[in-house]
A and B are shown apart, each in its own frame.
Chain A
Amino acid sequence: MAIVEQIGPSERAVTWRERLGDAVRQREGLRALLLAGPGGAWLLFFFLLPTAIVFAYSFARRGPYGTVDWTFTLENYVRFFDWLYIRVFLVSVWLALLTTLICLLIGYPFAFVIARSPRRWRNALLVLVLIPFWTNFLVRTYAIMLLLRSDGLINNALQWLGLIDRPLTMLFTPFAVVLGLVYGYLPFMILPIYASIEKFDFTLVEAAQDLGANTWQVFWRVLLPLTLPGVLAGSILVFIPSVGAFVTPDLLGGGKVVMIANLINQQFLTVRHWPFGSAVSFVLMAIVLAATMLYFRIGETRRI
């Protein structure tokens, strides 16, 4: 009896403490579940699961009438290596790279001026960059379309000035697409570069000069290397949406400049070859992921 009574309370104390711990842990788990749950569920059902289905489709066959026949095949990916589609891939990557380069050439000096301008101007200048950027992308693309048309303002002005006698064909060319992409994504380049130039310690320029560096040396050896993180971030932010652009090549390319997104659109809505369209989508995802990984890899090696 005595022994039992002695053991009793201590046993009870242990279970009490355990129960309390469990309760606290459960409450914390419950809170995490309530907070993370809705977002997780939405992401699972309306993003991850759909993407997984597309991945599965990309290994399926096309059935009659545009249906999907669930037999495993690699033919969709093999088909992509047809010159017809490789060309689309190359055109997309090339136009996206060109867009990135042009944005960099305009954006770097632009960001430099803003970062070196009087403090009270900076915010105003940045807001001026962002206002058109925050307006509807489709509308902005349409606005470019208006200017480039054969009876558009640019052609009218050039003809009026007597510089050309027949209107130039600008719309529905790679030029129009790159122009539209630069117009759309230039702020993505300017903002990160601005952020890194703004943080840059300009006494380093004086130090370099005291050590005998000339203007170009100061730029190439001091300013550019130290603001490279901004350049890289800007480049990736411009490249990714450019390579997957749909509206710009659709409206400004007018079917004459076909990029990956237009191919996907065509396979899904016109040809109704969903498995092949899915495979092309995954090729696009692979390009984007490769670019992102390259960005992080460069970032890492630079930090060491």
Chain B
Amino acid sequence: MTAQAAVTTSTRRPVRRRISTGWTLLWLNVFLTFVFLYAPIIVMSIFSFNASRQMQVWMGFTLDWYVRMLHDERVRVAAENSLIIALVSTAVSTVIGTLTALALERTRFRVKSLYEGAMYLPIIVPEIVMAIALLVFFNLTFQGLDQLFGLRLNFGLGTITIAHIAFSFPFVAVVVRARLADFDRTLEQAAQDLGANDWQTFRYITLPLLMPGIIAGALLAFTLSIDDFVITFFNAGVGSTTLPLEIYGRVRRGITPDVNALSTVLLLASMLLVLSSLALQRRRSS
């Protein structure tokens, strides 16, 4: 059917496209897929305004769940934790990721292919494996520090942030590297011909031209951090609950409408983040 459709368009393009059964079915597939992709999140958002405690029957519009959420101490703490972790993790992984991209694209060293391969590992390895690996590592390190120096450390915001940086910076490196790969190097040569030294060339030519890639990488790192559940779940401690952990905890305890409100807010936040990054990239490229 797909091929038939291909044939109709390519051979009769000048003529107005005849609506064949093939195309009808193809567009039906597109339509149903979009329904499948959007229906669950739209239904969830709608029911976050439902006045009933019993969730799937519409009892009228209310903002109660949102008001309740605003006054919820646990939600406030979780939101603060999520934000602190995401901001620190984004800042560090953007810097490390950009340096890594420059290393991969602009320098030569002996173990480079090994280094490059290793960089992709956190992207490929299943989240759960990375999560328990970090859990085991931190546990062992803390035990060692306690025995050797009597230093008592524990799981918390620190361990979560370190873990987030570990899985975010390779993504930043990939994004920045793509930007570096189609980079007009003659601009740098021109700057050097005009007497700029290495640092000046980097500061005034390379960095500004790389900026869209770096910003896109930073936004990606922020989204990855805010959204992460699995790795956070295994490396969190007492009092370091993030928004996804809070939602998970509530869902496990039994579904109540306040989870809908919280989820809808998180959903809108990440959508806004992605759309602004898209708009930013579009404005930069045009």
Seen from chain A, the residues whose Cβ lies within 8 Å of a Cβ on chain B are: 28-29, 31-40, 42-43, 46-51, 53-54, 57, 106, 108-110, 112-114, 116, 125, 127-132, 134-140, 142-147, 149, 151-153, 156, 183, 186, 202-203, 205-206, 209, 215-220, 222-223, 240-241, 243-244, 246-247, 251, 260-261, 264-265, 268-269, 274, 277-278, 281, 284-285, 288, 292
Q: Which among B11, B40, B56 is the interface contact of A143 at CB below 8 angstroms?
A: B40
Q: Which residues of B contact A53 (CB under 8 A)?
A: 133, 136-137, 140
Q: Which residue of A lies closest to B172 (CB)?
A: A39
Inter-chain contact B126/A223, CB cutoff 8 Å: no
- Give CA–CA (A184, B4) in the complex, Å: 30
Q: Which among B5, B37, B136, B234 is the interface contact of A278 at CB below 8 angstroms?
A: B136
Q: Which residue of B lies closest to A187 (CB)?
A: B37
Q: Which residue of A lies closest to B29 (CB)?
A: A109
Q: Which residues of B contact A183 (CB under 8 A)?
A: 36-37, 40
Q: Which residues of A contact B5 (CB under 8 A)?
A: 112, 116
- Give CA–CA (A244, B129) in the complex, Å: 9
List 10 A-B pairs, Cβ < 8 Å: A50-B137, A51-B133, A53-B136, A112-B26, A132-B38, A186-B33, A202-B9, A209-B11, A260-B128, A265-B128
Q: Which among B6, B54, B271 is the interface contact of A135 at CB below 8 angstroms?
A: B271
- Give CA–CA (A91, B223) in the complex, Å: 31
- Give CA–CA (A49, B166) in the complex, Å: 12
Inter-chain contact A142/B270, CB cutoff 8 Å: no
B130 within 8 A of A: yes
Inter-chain contact B163/A135, CB cutoff 8 Å: no
- Give CA–CA (A278, B134) in the complex, Å: 12
Q: Which residues of A contact B26 (CB under 8 A)?
A: 109, 112-113
- Give CA–CA (A269, B7) in the complex, Å: 56
- Give CA–CA (A234, B92) in the complex, Å: 31
Q: Which among A50, A113, A138, A243 is the interface contact of B248 at CB below 8 angstroms?
A: A138
- Give CA–CA (A149, B248) in the complex, Å: 17
Seen from chain B, the residues whose Cβ lies within 8 Å of a Cβ on chain A are: 1-7, 9-11, 26-27, 29-30, 33-34, 36-41, 43-44, 47, 54-57, 95-97, 99-100, 102-104, 106-109, 112, 115, 118-119, 121-122, 124-130, 132-137, 140, 162-163, 165-166, 169-170, 173, 223, 226-227, 229-230, 234, 244, 247-248, 251, 255, 259-260, 263, 266-267, 270-271, 274-275, 278
- Give CA–CA (A29, B47) in the complex, Å: 59
Q: Which among B34, B99, B223 is the interface contact of A38 at CB below 8 angstroms?
A: B99
- Give CA–CA (A284, B27) in the complex, Å: 38
Given contacts A116-B5, A186-B33, contact A285 B166 (CB under 8 A): no
Inter-chain contact B39/A106, CB cutoff 8 Å: no
Q: Which residue of B lies closest to A282 (CB)?
A: B129
Q: Which among A36, A48, A281 is the interface contact of B107 at CB below 8 angstroms?
A: A36
Inter-chain contact B136/A54, CB cutoff 8 Å: yes
Q: Which residues of B contact A134 (CB under 8 A)?
A: 223, 270-271, 274
Q: Which residues of A contact B169 (CB under 8 A)?
A: 39, 42
Inter-chain contact A42/B166, CB cutoff 8 Å: yes
Inter-chain contact B96/A38, CB cutoff 8 Å: yes
Which 5 pairs, one residue from A and one from B, show the smallest C-beta to C-beta distance?
A: A244-B126, A219-B3, A39-B100, A50-B137, A35-B103
